[in-house]
A and B are shown apart, each in its own frame.
Chain A
Amino acid sequence: MFPELNNLLNTTPDRAEQGKLTLLCDAKTDGSFLVHHFLSFYLKANCKVCFVALIQSFSHYNIVGQKLGVNLTMARERGQLVFLEGLKSAVDVFFQAQEKPHPLQFLREASAGNLKPLFEFVRDALKPVDSGAAGWTYPVLLVDDLSVLLSLGLGAVAVLDFIHYCRATVCWELKGNVVVLVHDSGDVEDEENDILLNGLSHQSHLILRAEGLATGFCRDVHGQLRILWRRPSQSTSQRDQSLTYQYKIQDRSVSFFAKGMSPAVL
């Protein structure tokens, strides 16, 4: 996890809020550093994490995780991390006989399917185990990412329904957190992606948006992060509703600074 990002969000692994949906989105840049941050953050917070990883392999996340101080292999072995490796298990849908529907069963369906099997996988992964030996703090669902589900043929409403059910189970029933990543297509007209992004924005408590700089690529400033807290319109809101910072990604950390205050420029 990145300590500077924790400071901006005013949170630490010990006292993170529960029952929240955090939306990560990126536009014209790669926002996956936010996924690595939250993965290591919640593992350090001793949470039971279910990671639906559709984009990269397990070893990729493991390598980055080790730079951030978490060992995914060990977390998986001791049962703290339930990892669905989409790239590998997508093939199992076709070549292995399953008694119950595979989480990615929608890949086999010709017509527009739904994500009920994936939801049932998440629910079974995160439901509290009766043995009580593990003692994890609260469950967390992490999805990287949802836009690829649209590319695989699902409709935006099906993905929104899946997140709705995850929110009802993980956030409300189990008092855990959900973190999802969606790409913003930006200039490209993609109605389904826009519905997905806007629909999730309305359901989220916190939105982190990584944007590339409008002027293009820069060696010292990799992008801009906009943080939007969605809170009810209360009269005594002491914190700001929205903050914007620029950032630079280094090997093991990300440094944040106010706009125009990059150390390279000063």
Chain B
Amino acid sequence: MLDSLLALGGLVLLRDSVEWEGRSLLKALVKKSALWLVYHDFFRDPLNWSKTGEALPGGPLGALRAMCKRTDLGPVTIALDSLSWLLLHLPCATLCQTLHAVSYQDSCPPGDGSPVGKVHVLGLLHEELHGPGPMGALSSLAQTEVTLGGTMGQASARILCRRPQQHPTDQTQWFSILPDFSLHLQEGPSKEFQPQSDPHIPLVDPMAHLTFNLHLSKKEREARDSLTLPFQFSSEKQEALLRPRPSQATSHIFYEPDAYDDLDQEDPDDDLDI
């Protein structure tokens, strides 16, 4: 499913974290889908500090808006590295409006009735940088969300796909990126990473070679099973309490005070010093 992500169109959110980075997956997906790559370099001077005049007018947002007004009709994939940068520098509403305008171009065909090619927008988003509000807003705009994670050195992608008029699907795909940025899908965490119990160490039975007897004979076992616990409220006990029999011998305390006992009810311990 990971390799057919871009077939669906709309906005695909690639959510990564510090531990599991998503840039290499973004590059792998771009490599898979792109026949012809146009690269807008906003890395060197995104805020136009150098003022050399080389920067594109309007900065990254201007470039993104320019893509809304494209005239060629072929399918196009727009990859954004990263959406987090845009979200930190622009108001969330502006970014969402621009993304919506770019990703849903094919729903508003131009006046002459000719079909517009599908637009795929692939955005890299760093989860820890944003609060639940902006994340939720981008999430609701997205057709597909891929959340990166992993275990034991093996990366996985959880793909949540929302297609119109269909149930959302949720799948997890294990993968790795090869050095040439091609995507290699895997079945699960590779075996070499799983902890294995060493078959050469024999399991020792701790119950063997004891100097005391831990086992019960058959008679002892029966006697134990038939024993009622003192605090268990069984039906016999309930009846005994409801119908007290006066002849039932209850326990008595027989006390013979000896010569030194001085039973003073006000000072039984004889330690008041008044």
| Contacts A232-B23, A234-B178 known; 6 new A-B pairs at CB < 8 A | A119-B49, A160-B88, A165-B45, A233-B20, A235-B190, A242-B19
Q: How far is the CA of A92 from the CA of B85 in the complex (A)?
A: 34
Instruction: Decide: A230 and B18 in contact? CB cutoff 8 A.
Output: yes
Interface residue B60 (Cβ < 8 Å from any Cβ of A): no
Interface residue A161 (Cβ < 8 Å from any Cβ of B): yes
Chain B residues with CB under 8 Å of chain A are 16, 18-21, 23-25, 43-47, 49, 84, 88-89, 126, 128-129, 148, 150, 153, 155, 175-179, 184, 186, 190
Instruction: Decide: B155 and A199 in contact? CB cutoff 8 A.
Output: no
Chain A residues with CB under 8 Å of chain B are 114, 116, 119, 157, 160-161, 164-165, 168, 172-173, 194-195, 198-199, 201-202, 207, 228, 230, 232-235, 237, 240-242
Inter-chain contacts of A116 with B (CB < 8 A)? 49
4 residue pairs, one from A and one from B, having the closest CB atoms: A232-B24, A233-B155, A235-B176, A198-B128
Inter-chain contacts of A195 with B (CB < 8 A)? 88, 129
Instruction: Decide: B19 and A235 in contact? CB cutoff 8 A.
Output: no
Instruction: Decide: B175 and A233 in contact? CB cutoff 8 A.
Output: yes
| Other-chain residue from B47, B88, B179 in contact with A199 (beta carbon distance below 8 A) | B88
Instruction: Decide: A157 and B88 in contact? CB cutoff 8 A.
Output: yes
Instruction: Decide: A228 and B24 in contact? CB cutoff 8 A.
Output: no
Instruction: Decide: B155 and A157 in contact? CB cutoff 8 A.
Output: no
Instruction: Decide: A233 and B25 in contact? CB cutoff 8 A.
Output: yes
With contact pairs A195-B129, A199-B129 given, residues A235 and B88 touching in the complex (Cβ less than 8 Å): no
Inter-chain contacts of B129 with A (CB < 8 A)? 195, 198-199, 202
Q: How far is the CA of A202 from the CA of B125 in the complex (A)?
A: 10
Inter-chain contacts of B43 with A (CB < 8 A)? 168, 172
Q: How far is the CA of A1 from the CA of B88 in the complex (A)?
A: 37
Inter-chain contacts of B19 with A (CB < 8 A)? 228, 241-242
